[in-house]
Amino acid sequence: MKISVIGCGYLGAVHAAAMAELGHDVVGIDVDERKIDALASGQAPFFEPGLPEILTSASASGRLTFSTDMAAVKGATVHFVAVGTPQKPGSYSADMTYVDAAVDGLLPYLQDGDLVVGKSTVPVGTASRLAAKVKDSAPGANLAWNPEFLREGFAVQDTISPDRLVYGVSPDPEVAGKSRALLNEVYAKALNEQTPLVVTDYATAELVKVSANAFLATKISFINAIAEIAEVTGGNVTELADAIGFDTRIGRRFLNAGIGFGGGCLPKDIRAFGARAEELGRGESLAFLKEVDAINLRRRQHVVDLVVEMLGGKAFEKRVAVLGLAFKPESDDIRDSPSLDIAVQLNGLGAIVRATDPEAIQNAHAKHPQLHFVDTVAEAVEDAEIVLLLTEWKEYRSILPQQIEGLVAGKQIIDGRNVLDSAQWRDAGWTYRAMGRP
């Protein structure tokens, strides 16, 4: 199958490389020349485990090319739209500029039988609007919506072997059948492996995506709300999560209390979903998502307050070590990262913050050059009066008190992700504080 992928960010670059890995002929398009140059030379423009390997093998096979010129999509039959839908400045809605520009840019090149496939996370109603646009300009081409559920850090595996496939197709049965057949060819490997497939209408496909993210965000904020109660009652939210998680109706995954969720998806998606509900006159249906957001943001404030308290009432001129800046481990993504937000807030209070991360320093520095970044844990903790573990990279989870106690000025640690062994740190004479557990 000849495929084009418009947008080569965290989603599109992985999608393009994975499609080529599956044997398709793929061209990836992006307006960012530096990104395209890197990808064309087989280099991943961001950190994603497994991506460099498939980029190298796909490029070597000749099945994967990249271009900044939209005309390069000519000859492809399936065109994936994988551009970003960030939060619109000054609003909770999604900024649709990039999706609209991608589809408008594609229109002149569409041929009879082509299929435009939306992957971006969009407000419900977008697909039918874009389908009409495609029909107007290229009557022989069609549109389907195929939301993406990949997790950063596992993006390659999630793309090649997704846990489900969703196709939102046209209300016209003939068009729907053709769209389905083309997508089945694209995803033949996953379908042969019995990956569940849901074929539905446009609105449902769009809603599946935002509902999934809203549910995940709600699950995390639920457990963080319980953590707030545990914090004032002496309960232990981790043991509680284990206990309720044994109920398979609840499940243990996404019940890790901590400093809350971040990233380029969950925070902006719940806001855009709420904003869309308000436009539809159903704001009250999703009003709870505002609470989910508020609980989430309170966790960051809680850590800042705790640091100030542990530093004796003020952070001014106190040395603070921050371990972890990415919004989660195995990623260099700092979009809406709770860890980086906490570091910035403490810096704003006059603390002398020294921050490190295995992969995210460059991105964090570009956004917040006022922070002081160091390459190693040893440099970060040197003379620190308090150490904050904020992103649970493997190398931070395995730190032992003995490794750093000769370096710090004060034996105080906040475990923002509840991943350290509290007894080990307390036995070594540290003041250890965690999220929602004693």
Nearest to 145 by CA among 183, 105, 104, 93: 183
Interaction between residue 84 and ligand UGA (CB under 6 A):
no
Which is closer to ligand UGA, CB of 4 or CB of 224? 224
Number of residues forming the site for ligand UGA (CB under 6 A) = 21
Work out how close the CB of 43 gets to ligand UGA at its nearest, in angstroms, rounded to a whole number.
21
Active-site option among 265, 289, 351, 420: 265
Q: Residues 31, 32, 68, 149: which binds ligand UGA (CB under 6 A)?
A: 149
Which is closer to ligand UGA, CB of 252 or CB of 372? 252
- Residue 95 DSSP SS3: coil
Interaction between residue 324 and ligand UGA (CB under 6 A):
no
Which is closer to ligand UGA, CB of 141 or CB of 303? 303
Tokens 């994975």 belong to which residue? Answer: 18
Which is closer to ligand UGA, CB of 341 or CB of 385? 341
Question: Rounded CA gap, 417 and 361, in Å?
Answer: 20
- Residue 325 DSSP SS3: coil
Do 297 and 332 touch, CB atoms closer than 8 A?
no
Question: Rounded CA gap, 131 and 116, in Å?
Answer: 9
- Residue 175 DSSP SS3: helix
- Residue 252-281 contact track with ligand UGA, rule CB under 6 A, x = bound: --xxx-x-xxxx-xx---------------
Do 339 and 417 touch, CB atoms closer than 8 A?
no
Work out how close the CB of 139 gets to ligand UGA at its nearest, in angstroms, rounded to a whole number.
32
The CA distances from residue 373 to 38, 219, 338, 344, in Å, are 25, 33, 17, 12
The CA distances from residue 395 to 256, 358, 362, 389, in Å, are 19, 9, 19, 11
Interaction between residue 303 and ligand UGA (CB under 6 A):
no
Which is closer to ligand UGA, CB of 25 or CB of 152? 152
Largest CA distance in the chain: 72
- CA count, 13 A, side-chain hemisphere, 55: 23
Would you state the structure tokens that stand for residue 225, as one six-digit string? 């709300």
Interaction between residue 293 and ligand UGA (CB under 6 A):
no
Q: Residue 335, Cα to own-chain centre: how many angstroms?
A: 8
Interaction between residue 151 and ligand UGA (CB under 6 A):
yes
Interaction between residue 148 and ligand UGA (CB under 6 A):
yes
- Residue 164 DSSP SS3: coil
Interaction between residue 226 and ligand UGA (CB under 6 A):
no
- Residue 93 DSSP SS3: coil
Work out how close the CB of 213 gets to ligand UGA at its nearest, in angstroms, rounded to a whole number.
5
Nearest to 341 by CA among 396, 301, 386: 301
Interaction between residue 330 and ligand UGA (CB under 6 A):
no
Q: Residues 213, 347, 418, 422: which binds ligand UGA (CB under 6 A)?
A: 213
Work out how close the CB of 382 gets to ligand UGA at its nearest, in angstroms, rounded to a whole number.
27
Work out how close the CB of 267 gets to ligand UGA at its nearest, in angstroms, rounded to a whole number.
9
Q: Residues 18, 131, 150, 325: which binds ligand UGA (CB under 6 A)?
A: 150
Would you state the structure tokens that stand for residue 314, as one six-digit string? 């003020």
Question: Rounded CA gap, 203 and 384, in Å?
Answer: 52
- Residue 103-122 contact track with ligand UGA, rule CB under 6 A, x = bound: ------------------x-
Please confirm, yes or no, whether 8 is among the known catalytic residues: no
Query: Looking at 142-150, 244-252, 347-355, 366-374, which segment touches ligand UGA (CB under 6 A)?
Result: 142-150
- Residue 150 DSSP SS3: coil
Contacts to ligand UGA by CB under 6 A: 121, 148-152, 213, 216, 220, 254-256, 258, 260-263, 265-266, 327-328
* Residues labelled catalytic: 265
